[in-house]
Amino acid sequence: MTSIRSTLGTGVLAAILVLLAACSGDDSEPMANSTSPVSTASVTSTATPAPTAEEAVIRDYGRYWEIYGAALLELDSTALADVMTGPRLERALTEVTNLRQQGRAVRIEVENTPLVVSVNGATAVVLDTYENSSHFVDPVTKAALASPSAPQTIRDSVTLVRVGDVWKVLDTVRSEGPP
């Protein structure tokens, strides 16, 4: 019996060695009929460039008009401080209060053409020549209270200051009429 075990043991050992040789860590490509899954991951990063100072000023100036227009139409001044500060904020708060007392609102209709004149640190100046067709409306129905008049050409020199990541309108100097 000893010889059978020795022969059997030698055969098992030989089979194990053949299997180990077949599975050896060779660096060649896996065989085509391999059943092990191959996974490749690809990460594509598309960084959005930060806007230039001028682009940020124009973006926030546009937002100023949106929020200011909504405040005068809805007679709700709660968001004005998000886009204004200083003297301009004080005037806008007074406008909303006065309109509420008069029982009317304003529908802002303007065609802006803003131009950034300068950006110096946290201060920017925008020149905006625009057509103003804004008019009074009923605060509830939003119906015009009178026929809208002809558009006025208005030129504003607007000073904005950066507060955190937002450019807020600090003040405006207005001139009306032809350029």
Ordered structural domains, the chain, with CATH: 53-176 (3.10.450.240)
The predicted structure's pLDDT at residue 109: 96
User: Residue 99, SS3?
Assistant: helix
Q: Does the pLDDT of residue 20 top 80, yes or no? A: no
Residue 103's identity, in one-letter code, is G
97's CB contacts (< 8 A; 6+ apart) are 77
The answer for residues whose C-beta is within 8 angstroms of residue 98's C-beta and 6 or more apart is none
The better pLDDT of the pair 169, 15 is held by 169
Place of tokens 């003040």: 171
The β-bridge partners of 124 are: 119, 160
Query: What are the CA-CA distances from residue 72 to residues 55, 76, 84, 117 (Å)?
Result: 26, 7, 14, 28
Task: Over range 100-126, report the average pLDDT.
Answer: 98
| CA–CA separation, 63 and 79 (whole Å) | 11
174 or 47: whose pLDDT is higher? 174
pTM greater than 0.85: no
Confidence of residue 47 (pLDDT cuts 50, 70, 90): confident
Asked whether residue 38 carries a pLDDT value surpassing 80, the answer given is: no
